Amino acid sequence: MDQDEKHKLGYQGALQMVAVEHHTIWATFQSLLAANAVLLTLVGVLIKIFPQYKWAPQILAVAGLFICVAWFFALTRQFSYHRYWHAWARAIEQKTLNPEVRMFQLGRVFGEGASVELPTGDSMRMTWAGRAFKVQWLASSLIIVIALVYAILFWMALS
């Protein structure tokens, strides 16, 4: 296997790791969102139907807060790996592949808001709304909102 084939193999590996990490991020997000939906429902039901058992929703609300903290850290780590594999793909692309193959390099420039020229000769630029908002912010915001709901439910169980 010559050096060029090794570089192409490395590039394919980086692309596969980007896809794997992307899948892992959303699989984790969906499963923890579903788990929190069930737990929040259970806490709400316990508060409403069994108000005499104040300790049960309190314990579940505290457990939910811990889950949210763990979820936030896991999500942050997964997005970090996602950026890492993107950086590897860009580096391999820049050093070893055909100069016309710059998908990951231009993807970064595109995401930062600059215009990029495609191999077809067309030029593209991400909309202002796309540049202003990042998916990781949305996911983190949702985790914070769920954690706040747990805190409110914990407080409601106290009264």
The span from the first CA to the last CA of the chain, in angstroms, equals 71
Given this model, what pLDDT does residue 89 score?
A: 87
pLDDT at 5: 82
| Tokens 């950026």 sit on residue | 83
Q: What is the pLDDT of residue 90?
A: 86
> Residue-wise pLDDT tens for the chain (159 aa)?
787 788 788 888 888 998 999 999 999 999 999 999 999 999 989 888 988 888 999 999 999 999 999 999 999 999 999 999 999 888 888 877 676 777 778 888 888 888 888 888 889 888 888 878 888 999 999 999 999 999 999 988 887
**Entry pTM:** 0.82
pLDDT of residue 77: 96
Cβ–Cβ < 8 Å for 150, 68: yes
| Cα–Cα nearest to 68, from 153, 139, 157 | 139
